Chain A
Amino acid sequence: MKDLSDGVYAQNPYTEEDKKHTISVLVDNEPGALARVVGLFTGRGYNIESLTVAETRHRQGLSRITIVTSGTGMIIEQIKAQLNRLVPIHSVSDLTMEGPSVERELAMVKVVATGEKRVESLRIADNFRARAVDSTLESFVFEIVGNSCKLDAFIELMKPLGLVDLCRTGVVAIARGPKGLDE
């Protein structure tokens, strides 16, 4: 017999404060699918902090979208339910709720500096395990991979050292352990 006390009644994990959630979505790689997802967020006033998308299962024609969003528990549940009912969406998983997960983001950071500042930037990059993927006598392009906080910290440190340009991929995330993202 199912334990009804937490089986059939609505769970009420509804925090009043906004919380960050990382949501993975498997979707048909077809025109309009991404637009539907993005349109849902703008149309209903939900946040998108980051969004990444790429085809991950070529033979089935499926793409994986990783969305970082924030909202109260009620809003997050709405977001998932709204995503779930889109026709081209195969699955929706809330990586934040469904056990531990690994998140990574990649940034490329261009620093223009000479002398002491140049040396310092290289030293910090080394500490952060960032790699120089391009260098001239007056500049570096560093590539750094990690969670978003690490990237934020690195970027902050590079600012006074001559950061002139940067780009970030947005977050990709995957659950820890043997389980795959089910369809």
Chain B
Amino acid sequence: MKARPTMSTSLIIKIASRNLLQDRLRFIATIVGIVFSIVLVNIQMGLFLSFERMVTTMIDHAPADLWIVPFGTKCFEDPSLLDAQDRTKALAVPGVSQATPVMIGFSEWTVPNGGTTPVFVIGSDESGAGLHPWNVTQGDTASLSSPNAVAVDATYFGRLGITKLGDTTEIRGQKARISEITDGIRSFTTTPYVFAPLARAQAYMGTPPGKVSYLLVNLAPNTDIAAVRNQLQTKLSKVEVLTPDEFRNRSRNFWLFGTGAGAALFAGALLGAIVGTVIIAQTLYSSTKDHLNEFATLRAIGSSNLYINKIIISQAVLSAVIGFAVAAGIGLIVVGMTARTALPIVMTPELTGGLFLLTVLMCVTSSVAAVVQVVRIDPARVFRQ
């Protein structure tokens, strides 16, 4: 009689699940191991994604076709400066419809009830295609043109020592007044962003006269972007002309990999995965050891190694599914809890799917030891037990 290709899996799953549940304590230990491991990987990768998004958030919100940046700029936060006259030269290039100066840099915010805190100032003229605050919940863009007007994010109220629209303070000894409040413009450096008109921003930062950080270039309709870029590159010296994508990649590479932050997050995730795999392997191995007589019986009554391996793999996959479900629940709670903080953990469908695959992979990898043990089993031992 030859085995038919269609195999009933229900009995396999029954045996697998009962093997798992028979030793409750060990089962809980397995699940806890998987959950810890996956939550750790989840947090690390969620931070990575969050970091990745935040690193480019300013570039994402700048309505530019091209960026003129000081030569060698490594990231958006780079303190190098351009000559302000470059704007005139850029505007002279055919196809360039706007070249908007943007000023960025660190400064010192006086907390009204004592002390100071560093802030990251972004200056851009309120008219035209500059880098303006978004997600404005109170005040309006026009209000930034009023004297000493700045925009800040509600997330940082505590840090900045302010509570509401109209509060006043000083930045580097110069007056500032909260005239716009945004929601969710957060910095991965955890330094609060402060938006101000260009000239005020320069004053807040003490920028040397005639200098700006970036020029945002907008093109006339139907302009060949590559041609304009070449011309800008040849007309201007000591600058680089980048597309937003290029600038994003540069920023990302600098912050995530240049600084080692990304590598640290990945290393943490890898460690989590390895520890998880070892824990599951250990519990699966000891579970298999406990059921060795039953596996020997299966072998004695003529089951194939495949059949037995399916039971062990099913044990692994069942653990994975249950462990993942719990981990995903905890992950959602963590995402919810960090959503309003300076460094929210991000969950995407891709990350969720990836984590599930990782869980299954971890569990299946860890069943190797158990499988090897069972394959070597001597069916004749059933006569001696």
Partners in one complex: no
